[in-house]
Structure 1
Amino acid sequence: MKNILVLLCIFLLSLEASFGQKISDKGLQIYWEKMQNIESGKELSNTDLMEIWNSPGYNYYNNQTASQDIYNNYYNLVYLTGLQDSLQNRLRNNDNSSISSYIIRYLNEAKQKRLKLEEFIQNLKTSNNINDGNTQAFKYLPKTFKPDNENTLIALTLIVPDSQTIPEEDLILIDLLSAYRLGNEFDKYLGHELHHLYVLNYFSKLRKNDELDRYPDLIYSIDKLRLEGIADLIDKDDILEKPNKSDYELDFCKYYKESKSRFQKMDYLIQEIVDNESMFTANGKKISRELPLGCHPNGLYMAHLIEREYGKDGILKCLENPFVFIQLFNEASKQNPEKYYTFSDVAMNYLKKLELEWIED
């Protein structure tokens, strides 16, 4: 009887953690319906297309006509029967660097795997993935943390080349194709995004600026290093040792191993800003380019060292303040200067100045 009560308590606690959070494929259902119309020879009207873009998950891009147009341009090529020869010609083009080639291959792969993707969705709906994802996210959150009753919509789409979290809308966009490729690792993938949600909604003290669409590039990069670095401990912790890496994972590991030289360049660019404040915007953009793949590889590099030197408590100290993330990395790097880059006093003093401007008490 005691064992039954213990199991019941664990079950109730897990329900509480994911209360209101749900996985939705409503947008995908509309998407597949419209793609079937194209396959049957029907040209989609603007009304048809807007049904897609007004659906859950896709509606995040409702006002981003450029994003919509990119995809709208290739729906016919991928799905219209009379254009399949043209599609095959495009697929034979090995120019994987262009965004158009990427989107065409992406949409075509989703078309070919539709039945498997639909089966994968059903497995997601009937499994314990949300609770498992929360378990993964909570690994790098304080033990005392208890979220409010989240009503997060976890929307499956076939538009995002990666997943992303929009905390102000209580929305997580999941790229279905990427999730499918992960298979049994989906709980970690979701845990990564849930960690973003909790950090941004409950912990981060980075000042919001309503006058700006986004943070200045330098501030954005510093925040991304922290956000992605910590969250990547959840789903990419062992990426360096992983066999049979994808092209993305190979690039990830390459940039990870280049962290020392990339931080040296970042330091130099910050010192240029110190010498000439008017270079803040231009050098901020250069720093963003110096931290590829959305800061993931170099952020994980920093998180690995912080956790190795200070344990999980060191990681938790960074949840409120991204500048602390760089400060702890820098202190840890001094223990092994031959392996890790240590930022100059000039750069660190400037980042301290930015911290005073951008972190709320």
Structure 2
Amino acid sequence: MKFIIILFLLILSNYLSAQNLNTESATKFWKIIDVVKKDIPISNELWSEFRNAKADSLWFGMARQLDKNYELYYRNAIEIVFRPSNKSKLDSIINLPKDNSRNLQNIFVIGMYQNYFLNEQGIREFYKRVSETAYLDTIYNIAITMLPKKFKKPTERLNALNIYIHGIESGANATRHGIMFSMAGLYNFEKEHFGILGAHELHHLLRVSKLKGSIQSNHKFAVDIMESCLNEGSADILNNLPVFEKPEFTDLKTMTLINSEEKLRTIDKWFSERFADTSKTRSEEEIATLFNYLGGHNPGYFMARTIVVNGFKNELRETIDNPFHFFLLYQKAAKKDKSKPPTFSIKTINFIKQLEKLYYNK
């Protein structure tokens, strides 16, 4: 499981609190790259300066919980990829077959090569653009396209928000410390659609579900599933829909949509069983397995995309605080969709409506 989580961390990642654009980590990353490209090894002093930047310290702290060698893998990857004297070693690693023979160190090297080495000049130029732009205003204006039209801008909250730009991997994470973006992640998503990845993360902060009361233990699994699917699926519309048809997003698209229909059938089975038998419930581990340990992206994006392409985007926006309606709206969209995606049984629909009456605060 740890291997799966780290793999996803290398591809996309999923963790909130951004007006203050902190580029300390990014600046120090390029300082290291400039040194290593001269075939000079990274000194402990230089590395300490880099890893003690706020964003890096936070990231490495989280990553260490997944693998104690994470930071070492990353440091080694920089030297293998960017030091000219390591070219033969780099060539041997990037030409490895795409199978389980790749160990974690090699995966870090390949990620560094694909994300930063091949795109170095483009990322440097893009990073400069982000640094010189009112980035928060840009991503806010995109994020609110998936929020109710009468949404009130939380100015004070936004002014207190921190955005960190760093050079680790290719993800975008939302933590209690702030929104953290890797330069590679921003570049990959935003080089042609400026602001969409940032909008995804900001949407998580701005969207709040109106749930009420204490959720019963035998209802919690269902509410958690619906909330996760809405949370990630609605935000994914902002950044995935514009780019997923491009070849470079094939792997991420596959991961986000693989077996989505089967996952919906599983959810239907679980919900209908629970409606018929109040003793039926599902564990957190079962839910995590259903989601491939990636939160509600899959099948959330499949559901949100089905809703949007069938003409119900405005209704989704106006009910973005209601995870129960998200599932009911998917049902309506799926019945309209000519590709005939899975629909829910009457037992499942009745169960969702029952939960909505109990827990949605109108």
TM-score of the two chains, using structure 1 as the length reference: 0.73
Contact 1:154 1:172 in 2 (8 A): yes
Shift in Å at residue 324 of structure 1?
2.4
Larger relative contact order, structure 1 or 2 (CA cutoff 8 Å, min sep 6) = 2
Distance in 1 separating the partners of 2:99 and 2:221: 27
User: 1:122–1:100: structure 2 CA closer, same or farther, 3 Å change rule?
Assistant: same
Give the aligned residue type for 1:283. Answer: E
Distance in 1 separating the partners of 2:192 and 2:338: 38
One of 146, 161, 166 as aligned partner of 2:153: 146
Contact 1:157 1:174 in 2 (8 A): yes
Question: Which residue is 2:345 aligned to?
Answer: 344
Question: Which residue is 1:87 aligned to?
Answer: 90
User: 1:281–1:172: structure 2 CA closer, same or farther, 3 Å change rule?
Assistant: closer
What's the RMSD between the two structures over aligned residues? 3.6
Shift in Å at residue 121 of structure 1?
1.1
User: 1:267–1:278: structure 2 CA closer, same or farther, 3 Å change rule?
Assistant: closer
One of 192, 195, 208 as aligned partner of 2:200: 192
Distance in 1 separating the partners of 2:213 and 2:32: 39
Shift in Å at residue 341 of structure 1?
1.9
Shift in Å at residue 263 of structure 1?
0.8
* 1:120 aligns to 2:129 (yes or no): no
User: 1:147–1:160: structure 2 CA closer, same or farther, 3 Å change rule?
Assistant: farther
1:137-171 Cα offsets, whole Å, 9 max, x none, are: 111222332212312222122324421222x33x1
Farther off after superposition, 341-350 or 128-137? 341-350
Question: Which residue is 1:248 aligned to?
Answer: 251
* 1:25 aligns to 2:27 (yes or no): no
Question: Which residue is 1:69 aligned to?
Answer: 69
Secondary structure class of the residue paired with 2:296: helix
Distance in 1 separating the partners of 2:302 and 2:169: 25
1:158-187 Cα offsets, whole Å, 9 max, x none, are: 324421222x33x11112112222313122
Distance in 2 separating the partners of 1:196 and 1:54: 27
Distance in 1 separating the partners of 2:49 and 2:210: 38
Question: Which residue is 1:6 aligned to?
Answer: none
Distance in 2 separating the partners of 1:305 and 1:25: 37
Farther off after superposition, 84-93 or 190-199? 84-93
Distance in 1 separating the partners of 2:331 and 2:313: 17
Contact 1:239 1:249 in 2 (8 A): no
User: 1:101–1:277: structure 2 CA closer, same or farther, 3 Å change rule?
Assistant: farther
Give the aligned residue type for 1:198. Answer: L
Question: Which residue is 1:13 aligned to?
Answer: none
Shift in Å at residue 226 of structure 1?
0.7
Contact 2:316 2:329 in 1 (8 A): no
Instruction: Indicate the percent of aligned positions where both proteins have the same amino acid.
Output: 18
Secondary structure class of the residue paired with 1:305: helix
Contact 1:77 1:83 in 2 (8 A): no
Distance in 1 separating the partners of 2:179 and 2:198: 9
Matches within 5 A, 1:224-243: 224-239=228-243, 242-243=245-246
Distance in 1 separating the partners of 2:146 and 2:117: 37
Q: Which residues of structure 2 form unaligned runs of 5+? A: 1-17, 215-219
Shift in Å at residue 195 of structure 1?
1.4
Shift in Å at residue 310 of structure 1?
6.5
Secondary structure class of the residue paired with 1:165: strand
Contact 2:231 2:296 in 1 (8 A): no
Question: Which residue is 2:183 aligned to?
Answer: 176
1:257-293 Cα offsets, whole Å, 9 max, x none, are: x53333112222445566554643443233223xx86
1:98-132 Cα offsets, whole Å, 9 max, x none, are: 55443211223414544442222112222344322
Shift in Å at residue 315 of structure 1?
1.1
Contact 2:25 2:167 in 1 (8 A): no
* 1:329 aligns to 2:319 (yes or no): no
Question: Which residue is 1:284 aligned to?
Answer: 287
Higher helix share: 1
User: 1:353–1:281: structure 2 CA closer, same or farther, 3 Å change rule?
Assistant: farther
Distance in 1 separating the partners of 2:358 and 2:56: 35
Secondary structure class of the residue paired with 2:267: helix
TM-score of the two chains, using structure 2 as the length reference: 0.73
User: 1:91–1:71: structure 2 CA closer, same or farther, 3 Å change rule?
Assistant: farther
Matches within 5 A, 1:290-329: 294-296=295-297, 298-307=299-308, 311-329=312-330
Distance in 1 separating the partners of 2:141 and 2:281: 45
